[in-house]
Amino acid sequence: MTCLEAVAGYLPPESTPVSDILGELGVEEAQIALYRRFYGFSQVRRAPDSGLRDLMLAAAGKLDALRGVEDRVRYVLYPRTIQLCAPYPLNPLHDVCAELGLRRATAFSVTQHACASGLLAVDIAGRLLAADGDPDALALIFAGEKAFTPSAQLIRDTAIMGEGMAVVLVRADGGHDRLLGYATRTLGQFHAAPFLPVKLDAEFEGIYPATLAEVVLAAVRQAGLEPRDIDLVLPHNVNLISWLRVAKMTGLGRDRIFLDNLPVTGHCFCADSFINHQSASALGLLRPGDHYLMTAVGLGATFSAMVFRH
């Protein structure tokens, strides 16, 4: 059974007001007010002087559980929203593996589910470790990206992108956070997102809350639970309005959805749920035995949810 052995995150110290970012992207003042008042965004964390390698190493430096077990790491996975992260022949992932001393690890990227690739990576890591049959083997997952182009900085009417980075240590079995249920659904007719024709864009916006709610409930059922059994939701940080709709459709109260980071970090690609996990743990919101839900939606369009026991 897949377990999260440890989770850590890194948020760059620089906070940029969303009004500055949206203004630079040519968003009109009325729309900027919408992002702030109704979508819930205030600031975004960015690291203009740091590259992807720097962010990954900063996050790894906060994962105390990695120290001394580097030789047990068999796989390093990097789930990404954007397929290309560096100009050829640079490879930040392999550079980071070398610097961390992960000599025995096979490293590769996962991109097929866009922002939902982080949850896909957890599933893949658990399956690979289970197939290996070594109870001491580990997998390491990095999640987070650079918002290095205008199209990577904003998902229209949905989210503003941040540059937080998460790192997750996974094992096939253990006494930490156990994976109980995983559900995912891809609606391929929206594969051209975020540049959908107006008609398809409106259709996607219309089906988004109900589809996410359906996948959330499927993951909860697979875990053998009911919505009332979920103590905390660790969401992807997209706009507040959509989360209020999903909460109503699923029976998950607004008070159980951890939205503290949304106003101050933005949507950090595949990293949101893991960064939220670290924040919730630091605040004492996750207690032993609690059931929590992670969610993610990747443009293209993949809806995913995972249920864990803390």
Task: Tell me whether residue 234 is exposed, middle or buried, using C-beta atoms within 10 angstroms of its C-beta: 0 to 12, 13 to 18, 19 or more.
Answer: buried
38-62: per-residue pLDDT in tens?
A: 999 999 999 999 999 999 999 999 9
Do 259 and 122 share a domain, yes or no?
no
Span between the terminal Cα atoms of the chain, in Å: 14
Measured between alpha carbons, how far is 130 from 18 in angstroms, rounded to an integer?
Answer: 43
Query: CA-CA distance, 128 to 52, in Å (whole number)?
Result: 26
Question: What digits encode the pLDDT tens for the residues 105-147?
Answer: 999 999 999 999 999 999 999 999 999 999 999 999 999 999 9
Together in a domain, 134 and 65: yes
- Are 156 and 227 members of one domain? no
Q: Please give the tally of structural domains in the chain.
A: 2
In the prediction, which pLDDT does 252 show?
A: 95
Give me the percent of the chain exceeding a pLDDT of 90. 90
User: How many angstroms separate the Cα of 17 from the Cα of each of 22, 205, 229, 265, 266?
Assistant: 9, 26, 37, 10, 10
Encoded amino acid at 48, one letter: P
Does 194 score more than 80 pLDDT?
no
Residue 202 and residue 112 share a domain = no
- How many CB atoms lie under 10 A from the CB of residue 139? 28
Residues 191 and 268 in one domain: yes
Give CA separation, 156 vs 42, 197, 246, in Å: 16, 13, 19
Residues 20 and 60 in one domain: yes
pLDDT per residue as tens digits for the range 83-116: 888 878 889 999 999 999 999 999 999 999 999 9
pTM of the model: 0.96
Both 166 and 213 in one domain: the answer is no
Residue 239 belongs to domain spanning: 177-309
Chain centroid to CA 37: 24
Q: What's the whole-number mean pLDDT along residues 223-232?
A: 98
In eight-state DSSP terms, residue 236 is -
Residue 17: its pLDDT value, please?
96
What CATH number did the domain enclosing 230 receive? 3.40.47.10
Residues 248 and 266 in one domain: yes
If asked whether residues 118 and 25 sit together in one domain, one would say: yes
Q: Are residues 24 and 152 in the same domain?
A: yes
At CA 136, angle to CA 279 and CA 182, rounded to 5?
Answer: 50
For residues 47 and 153, membership in a common domain is answered with yes
Residue 105 has what pLDDT?
98
- Final residue before a domain boundary, out of 171, 193, 210: 171
pLDDT tens per residue, range 262-285? 999 999 999 999 999 999 999 999
pLDDT digits over 8-37, tens only? 999 999 999 999 999 999 999 999 999 999
Candidates 241, 234, 245; CA nearest to 40 is: 241
pLDDT band at 148 (very low <50, low <70, confident <90, very high): confident
86-90 contacts: CB < 8 A, separation 24 or more? 86/52
Mean pLDDT of 169-195: 92
Q: Which of 140, 171, 202 is at the close of a domain?
A: 171
Q: Pick from 174, 169, 173: which is nearest to 74 by CA?
A: 169
Spatial separation of the C-alpha atoms in residues 207 and 225, rounded to whole Å:
25
One-letter amino acid at 285 equals L
Query: Helix, strand, or coil here: 70?
Result: helix
- Report the pLDDT value the prediction gives residue 168, as an integer from 0 to 100: 98
Q: Is the pLDDT of residue 193 over 80?
A: no
The Cα 178–Cα 26 span in angstroms is 45
Return the pLDDT at 161: 96
Residues 22 and 112 in one domain: yes
Last residue of a domain, one of 118, 146, 171: 171
